[in-house]
Homo-oligomer: A and B are copies of this chain.
Amino acid sequence: MRIGIVAPSTPILAETATRTSQIAARGFPGVELVFHPQCFLTHRHFAGEDRVRADAFVEVANDPGFDALWFARGGYGSCRIVEAVIGRLGPAARDKAYLGYSDAGYMLAGLYRAGFKRVAHGPMPQDARRRGGEAAVRRALGWLAAGDPAALEPSLAEGPAAAFNITVFSQLLGTALEPDLAGHVLMLEDVSEHMYRTDRALFHITGNASVRRVAGIRLGRCSEVPENDPDFGASEEEVFLYWCERSGIPYLGRADIGHDSANKVVPFGRR
Protein backbone atom coordinates (compact mmCIF):
# COMPACT_ATOMS: atom_id res chain seq x y z
CA MET A 1 0.00 0.00 0.00
CA ARG A 2 1.00 3.63 -0.51
CA ILE A 3 0.60 6.28 2.16
CA GLY A 4 0.88 9.95 1.18
CA ILE A 5 2.08 12.37 3.84
CA VAL A 6 1.28 16.09 3.88
CA ALA A 7 1.62 18.85 6.46
CA PRO A 8 -1.43 21.14 6.63
CA SER A 9 -0.03 22.88 9.73
CA THR A 10 3.70 23.19 10.40
CA PRO A 11 6.71 21.59 8.66
CA ILE A 12 8.81 18.58 9.60
CA LEU A 13 12.54 18.09 9.14
CA ALA A 14 13.89 15.80 6.41
CA GLU A 15 15.52 13.79 9.18
CA THR A 16 12.09 13.05 10.67
CA ALA A 17 10.87 11.71 7.35
CA THR A 18 13.97 9.52 7.07
CA ARG A 19 13.52 8.13 10.57
CA THR A 20 9.82 7.39 9.93
CA SER A 21 10.63 5.70 6.61
CA GLN A 22 13.26 3.54 8.32
CA ILE A 23 10.74 2.41 10.92
CA ALA A 24 8.28 1.58 8.15
CA ALA A 25 10.90 -0.31 6.14
CA ARG A 26 11.84 -2.44 9.17
CA GLY A 27 8.30 -3.38 10.17
CA PHE A 28 6.09 -2.90 7.12
CA PRO A 29 7.89 -3.98 3.96
CA GLY A 30 4.65 -3.79 1.95
CA VAL A 31 4.07 -0.14 2.83
CA GLU A 32 5.48 2.71 0.77
CA LEU A 33 5.60 6.11 2.49
CA VAL A 34 5.59 9.12 0.16
CA PHE A 35 6.43 12.40 1.87
CA HIS A 36 5.05 15.23 -0.26
CA PRO A 37 7.76 17.92 -0.67
CA GLN A 38 5.32 20.39 0.90
CA CYS A 39 6.07 18.77 4.28
CA PHE A 40 9.43 20.50 4.36
CA LEU A 41 8.43 24.00 3.23
CA THR A 42 8.36 26.93 5.60
CA HIS A 43 6.33 30.10 5.27
CA ARG A 44 6.16 32.16 8.47
CA HIS A 45 4.58 29.86 11.05
CA PHE A 46 3.42 27.33 8.47
CA ALA A 47 4.61 24.53 6.17
CA GLY A 48 4.15 26.76 3.14
CA GLU A 49 1.49 29.30 2.28
CA ASP A 50 -2.17 28.40 2.80
CA ARG A 51 -2.67 27.76 -0.90
CA VAL A 52 0.41 25.53 -1.12
CA ARG A 53 -0.62 23.44 1.90
CA ALA A 54 -4.16 23.12 0.56
CA ASP A 55 -2.92 22.10 -2.91
CA ALA A 56 -0.68 19.38 -1.48
CA PHE A 57 -3.52 17.98 0.62
CA VAL A 58 -5.93 17.96 -2.32
CA GLU A 59 -3.31 16.41 -4.62
CA VAL A 60 -2.67 13.47 -2.29
CA ALA A 61 -6.30 13.05 -1.20
CA ASN A 62 -7.59 12.98 -4.78
CA ASP A 63 -4.87 10.61 -6.06
CA PRO A 64 -6.28 7.06 -6.33
CA GLY A 65 -2.69 5.81 -6.16
CA PHE A 66 -2.64 6.52 -2.42
CA ASP A 67 -4.55 4.37 0.08
CA ALA A 68 -4.18 6.78 2.98
CA LEU A 69 -3.31 10.36 3.82
CA TRP A 70 -1.18 10.72 6.91
CA PHE A 71 -0.74 14.08 8.64
CA ALA A 72 2.98 14.78 9.14
CA ARG A 73 2.49 16.70 12.38
CA GLY A 74 0.34 19.24 14.24
CA GLY A 75 1.36 22.71 15.37
CA TYR A 76 -1.01 25.33 14.04
CA GLY A 77 -2.55 26.21 10.72
CA SER A 78 -4.88 23.57 9.35
CA CYS A 79 -8.01 25.52 10.35
CA ARG A 80 -7.08 28.12 7.73
CA ILE A 81 -7.44 25.67 4.84
CA VAL A 82 -9.99 22.99 5.77
CA GLU A 83 -13.02 24.54 4.09
CA ALA A 84 -11.15 25.26 0.86
CA VAL A 85 -9.70 21.73 0.81
CA ILE A 86 -12.94 19.86 1.43
CA GLY A 87 -14.71 21.67 -1.39
CA ARG A 88 -12.10 20.32 -3.82
CA LEU A 89 -12.10 16.64 -2.79
CA GLY A 90 -13.31 14.02 -5.26
CA PRO A 91 -14.35 10.35 -5.07
CA ALA A 92 -10.82 8.99 -4.55
CA ALA A 93 -10.55 11.13 -1.43
CA ARG A 94 -13.58 9.41 0.11
CA ASP A 95 -11.97 5.97 -0.11
CA LYS A 96 -8.89 6.93 1.88
CA ALA A 97 -7.97 6.66 5.52
CA TYR A 98 -6.87 9.88 7.27
CA LEU A 99 -4.76 9.76 10.41
CA GLY A 100 -3.44 12.52 12.65
CA TYR A 101 -4.12 14.46 15.86
CA SER A 102 -3.54 17.76 17.62
CA ASP A 103 -3.93 20.60 15.07
CA ALA A 104 -4.94 17.99 12.46
CA GLY A 105 -8.17 17.79 14.45
CA TYR A 106 -9.63 20.68 12.44
CA MET A 107 -9.23 18.63 9.27
CA LEU A 108 -10.49 15.41 10.89
CA ALA A 109 -13.55 17.31 12.12
CA GLY A 110 -14.29 18.79 8.72
CA LEU A 111 -13.80 15.46 6.92
CA TYR A 112 -15.99 13.60 9.39
CA ARG A 113 -18.67 16.25 9.11
CA ALA A 114 -18.48 15.90 5.32
CA GLY A 115 -19.25 12.20 5.62
CA PHE A 116 -15.78 10.71 5.21
CA LYS A 117 -15.81 7.24 6.74
CA ARG A 118 -12.15 6.53 7.55
CA VAL A 119 -11.04 9.41 9.73
CA ALA A 120 -8.92 8.64 12.79
CA HIS A 121 -7.09 10.34 15.65
CA GLY A 122 -3.64 8.84 16.19
CA PRO A 123 0.15 9.09 15.91
CA MET A 124 1.97 11.00 13.16
CA PRO A 125 5.47 10.90 11.63
CA GLN A 126 6.61 13.72 13.94
CA ASP A 127 6.11 11.26 16.82
CA ALA A 128 9.17 9.35 15.54
CA ARG A 129 11.18 12.04 17.34
CA ARG A 130 9.74 11.16 20.77
CA ARG A 131 11.35 8.84 23.26
CA GLY A 132 9.69 5.53 22.42
CA GLY A 133 8.40 7.09 19.23
CA GLU A 134 9.06 4.00 17.13
CA ALA A 135 6.18 2.27 18.92
CA ALA A 136 3.88 5.19 18.05
CA VAL A 137 4.85 5.09 14.38
CA ARG A 138 4.45 1.31 14.26
CA ARG A 139 1.03 1.62 15.89
CA ALA A 140 -0.08 4.17 13.29
CA LEU A 141 1.21 2.03 10.43
CA GLY A 142 -0.35 -1.08 11.94
CA TRP A 143 -3.73 0.60 11.80
CA LEU A 144 -3.24 2.22 8.39
CA ALA A 145 -1.85 -0.91 6.74
CA ALA A 146 -3.94 -3.62 8.34
CA GLY A 147 -6.45 -2.15 10.79
CA ASP A 148 -4.45 -3.79 13.60
CA PRO A 149 -6.84 -4.00 16.59
CA ALA A 150 -3.89 -3.68 19.00
CA ALA A 151 -3.48 -0.10 17.75
CA LEU A 152 -6.92 0.93 18.92
CA GLU A 153 -7.89 2.84 22.04
CA PRO A 154 -9.24 0.10 24.33
CA SER A 155 -12.67 1.56 25.18
CA LEU A 156 -13.90 1.77 21.59
CA ALA A 157 -16.36 -1.12 21.96
CA GLU A 158 -18.59 1.30 23.91
CA GLY A 159 -19.93 2.82 20.71
CA PRO A 160 -19.11 5.50 18.15
CA ALA A 161 -16.24 7.73 19.21
CA ALA A 162 -14.26 10.80 18.21
CA ALA A 163 -11.10 12.25 19.70
CA PHE A 164 -9.69 15.76 19.79
CA ASN A 165 -7.23 18.06 21.39
CA ILE A 166 -9.17 20.07 24.00
CA THR A 167 -8.10 23.47 22.67
CA VAL A 168 -8.64 22.55 19.04
CA PHE A 169 -12.10 21.15 19.76
CA SER A 170 -13.06 24.24 21.75
CA GLN A 171 -11.95 26.45 18.87
CA LEU A 172 -14.03 24.72 16.21
CA LEU A 173 -17.37 24.74 18.06
CA GLY A 174 -20.06 26.54 16.12
CA THR A 175 -17.94 26.75 12.97
CA ALA A 176 -18.47 25.01 9.64
CA LEU A 177 -16.07 22.29 10.87
CA GLU A 178 -18.03 21.11 13.92
CA PRO A 179 -19.22 17.54 13.35
CA ASP A 180 -22.41 16.11 14.81
CA LEU A 181 -21.17 14.01 17.72
CA ALA A 182 -24.58 13.10 19.14
CA GLY A 183 -24.29 9.67 20.73
CA HIS A 184 -20.49 9.59 20.39
CA VAL A 185 -17.96 9.08 23.13
CA LEU A 186 -15.86 12.25 22.97
CA MET A 187 -12.23 11.71 23.96
CA LEU A 188 -10.16 14.79 24.78
CA GLU A 189 -6.46 15.35 25.44
CA ASP A 190 -4.11 18.31 25.55
CA VAL A 191 -0.51 19.42 25.95
CA SER A 192 1.24 22.51 27.30
CA GLU A 193 -1.88 24.29 28.54
CA HIS A 194 -2.19 25.88 31.97
CA MET A 195 -4.86 24.14 34.03
CA TYR A 196 -6.94 27.32 34.23
CA ARG A 197 -7.07 27.30 30.43
CA THR A 198 -8.26 23.69 30.47
CA ASP A 199 -10.92 24.62 33.03
CA ARG A 200 -11.99 27.54 30.84
CA ALA A 201 -12.10 25.35 27.72
CA LEU A 202 -14.24 22.81 29.55
CA PHE A 203 -16.69 25.56 30.51
CA HIS A 204 -16.91 26.38 26.81
CA ILE A 205 -17.08 22.80 25.54
CA THR A 206 -19.58 21.46 28.06
CA GLY A 207 -21.62 24.67 27.82
CA ASN A 208 -22.42 24.09 24.15
CA ALA A 209 -25.80 22.43 23.57
CA SER A 210 -24.42 20.40 20.65
CA VAL A 211 -21.77 18.84 22.88
CA ARG A 212 -24.33 17.94 25.54
CA ARG A 213 -25.69 15.38 23.08
CA VAL A 214 -22.55 13.20 23.24
CA ALA A 215 -22.84 9.82 24.94
CA GLY A 216 -20.09 10.83 27.34
CA ILE A 217 -16.61 12.26 27.68
CA ARG A 218 -13.36 10.39 28.27
CA LEU A 219 -10.23 12.18 29.41
CA GLY A 220 -6.96 11.49 27.65
CA ARG A 221 -3.65 12.71 28.99
CA CYS A 222 -2.93 16.39 29.68
CA SER A 223 0.85 16.57 29.54
CA GLU A 224 3.47 19.26 30.13
CA VAL A 225 0.98 21.41 32.04
CA PRO A 226 2.83 24.68 32.84
CA GLU A 227 2.95 25.63 36.50
CA ASN A 228 0.20 27.95 37.64
CA ASP A 229 0.89 30.75 40.10
CA PRO A 230 -0.96 30.24 42.38
CA ASP A 231 -1.40 26.51 41.87
CA PHE A 232 -4.74 25.85 40.19
CA GLY A 233 -5.47 23.28 42.87
CA ALA A 234 -7.32 20.73 40.76
CA SER A 235 -6.10 17.94 38.51
CA GLU A 236 -7.34 17.53 34.95
CA GLU A 237 -9.57 14.69 36.09
CA GLU A 238 -11.12 16.89 38.79
CA VAL A 239 -11.70 19.58 36.16
CA PHE A 240 -13.41 17.08 33.85
CA LEU A 241 -15.51 15.60 36.67
CA TYR A 242 -16.65 19.07 37.71
CA TRP A 243 -17.74 20.24 34.27
CA CYS A 244 -19.26 16.91 33.27
CA GLU A 245 -21.35 16.88 36.42
CA ARG A 246 -22.43 20.51 35.94
CA SER A 247 -23.45 19.93 32.34
CA GLY A 248 -25.03 16.52 32.79
CA ILE A 249 -22.58 14.83 30.41
CA PRO A 250 -21.54 11.36 31.62
CA TYR A 251 -17.87 11.19 32.56
CA LEU A 252 -16.73 7.78 31.37
CA GLY A 253 -13.17 7.68 32.72
CA ARG A 254 -9.78 7.88 31.06
CA ALA A 255 -8.87 7.45 27.39
CA ASP A 256 -5.53 6.10 26.24
CA ILE A 257 -4.66 9.07 24.04
CA GLY A 258 -2.31 12.04 24.42
CA HIS A 259 0.68 13.90 23.08
CA ASP A 260 3.02 10.98 23.75
CA SER A 261 4.29 7.68 22.38
CA ALA A 262 1.45 5.69 23.97
CA ASN A 263 -1.22 7.59 21.99
CA LYS A 264 -3.69 5.00 20.64
CA VAL A 265 -5.77 5.18 17.46
CA VAL A 266 -9.40 6.38 17.64
CA PRO A 267 -11.31 5.89 14.38
CA PHE A 268 -14.24 8.32 14.23
CA GLY A 269 -17.75 6.89 14.27
CA ARG A 270 -18.69 3.23 14.47
CA ARG A 271 -15.87 0.72 14.38
Contacts and interface: CB of A to CB of B under 8 A. Distances in A.
Interface in A39-66: 42-45
A34 B79 CA distance: 47
A210 B174 contact: yes
A204 B76 contact: no
Interface string A205-229: 0011110000000000000000010
A170 interface: yes
Measured as residues with beta carbon below 8 angstroms from the partner, the interface class of chain A is 20 to 34
A230 B11 CA distance: 11
A230 B43 CA distance: 9
A110 to B, nearest CB: 11
Given A76-B196, A196-B76, A204 B173 contact: yes
A15 interface: no
A208 B176 CA distance: 8
Contacts of A171: 170, 200-201, 203-204
Describe A's contact surface by its main secondary structure.
Answer: loop
B230 A44 contact: yes
A165 to B, nearest CB: 11
Contacts of A44: 230-234
Contacts of A234: 44
Given A204-B173, A204-B175, A45 B210 contact: no
Nearest to A209: B174
Nearest to A75: B196
Given A170-B171, A171-B201, A174-B174, A42 B230 contact: yes
Given A230-B45, A233-B44, A174 B207 contact: yes
Contacts of A76: 196, 199-200
A86 interface: no
12 contacts: A44-B231, A45-B196, A76-B199, A76-B200, A80-B199, A171-B200, A171-B201, A172-B207, A173-B174, A174-B207, A174-B210, A177-B207
Given A43-B233, A173-B173, A175-B203, 10 more contacts: A42-B230, A44-B231, A45-B196, A45-B230, A45-B231, A170-B171, A171-B201, A172-B204, A173-B174, A174-B210
Shortest Cβ-Cβ A-B pairs, 9 listed = A44-B233, A175-B207, A174-B208, A171-B204, A76-B196, A79-B203, A174-B174, A45-B232, A171-B200
